[in-house]
């Protein structure tokens, strides 16, 4: 259903988008709050899975985190919300950026950091009006976080 929309996107790998995305991912990891007792119910449930099911869950989770989530969220928050509210002029552009980043933050448990990420992704989008820059940054952020989760076997971070 959405394939025609995806085909219209000018896909490219922008070095600045990659750099910003990696920086946001590292920031997300560095500022990761300490886990509290009782927060490991996901880990307990995953540990109870047979190896094949666990591997399948991990693969699907990483694909969703690195590919699907960035595409859906960026198409909505930057490609739709920011674009629809940006009626021209610096004032409206800042309002549009703030609203899209604020809505993005509401959908994340670490809202302050998500707002910063939303502003960064929004600025990348506004730079060339190319949604693939925001998608690339978001995907690279999530890839860094997913790699961290794989290395530590801590799935609570993604």
Q: What would the pLDDT profile of 47-59 be if each residue is shown by its tens digit? A: 788 889 988 989 9
What sign for the dihedral angle of Cα 130, 84, 8, 107?
positive
State CA 146 to chain mean position distance: 11
The whole-angstrom separation of Cα 133 and Cα 116 is 16
Q: Which residue has the tokens 């674009």?
A: 83
Here the tokens at position 73 are: 């969220």
Domain for residue 103, yes or no?
Answer: yes
What is the predicted pLDDT for the residue at 142? 98
Residue 142's CB is within 10 A of a number of other CB atoms, namely 24
Range of the domain at 110: 14-27+50-157
Domain for residue 33, yes or no?
Answer: no
Domain for residue 8, yes or no?
Answer: no
> What average pLDDT does range 2-23 have in this prediction?
87
Q: What percent of the chain has pLDDT over 90?
A: 70
What is the predicted pLDDT for the residue at 38? 54
Domain for residue 9, yes or no?
Answer: no
Domain for residue 115, yes or no?
Answer: yes
Rama region for 97: left / alpha / beta (φ>0; ψ in -120 to 50; rest):
alpha
């Amino acid at each position: 259903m959405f394939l025609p929309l995806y085909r219209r996107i000018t896909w490219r790998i922008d070095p600045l988008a990659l750099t910003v995305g990696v920086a946001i991912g590292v920031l997300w990891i560095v500022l990761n709050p300490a886990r509290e007792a009782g927060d490991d119910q996901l880990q307990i449930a995953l540990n109870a899975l047979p190896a094949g099911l666990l591997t399948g869950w991990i693969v699907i989770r990483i694909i969703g985190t690195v590919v699907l989530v960035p595409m859906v969220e960026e198409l909505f928050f930057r490609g739709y919300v920011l674009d629809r509210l940006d009626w021209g002029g610096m004032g409206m552009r800042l309002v549009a950026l703030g609203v899209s980043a604020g809505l993005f933050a509401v959908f994340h448990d670490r809202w302050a950091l998500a707002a910063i990420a939303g502003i960064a992704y929004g600025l990348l989008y506004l730079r060339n009006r190319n949604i693939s820059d925001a998608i690339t940054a978001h995907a690279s952020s999530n890839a860094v976080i997913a790699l961290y989760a794989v290395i530590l076997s801590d799935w609570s971070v993604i």
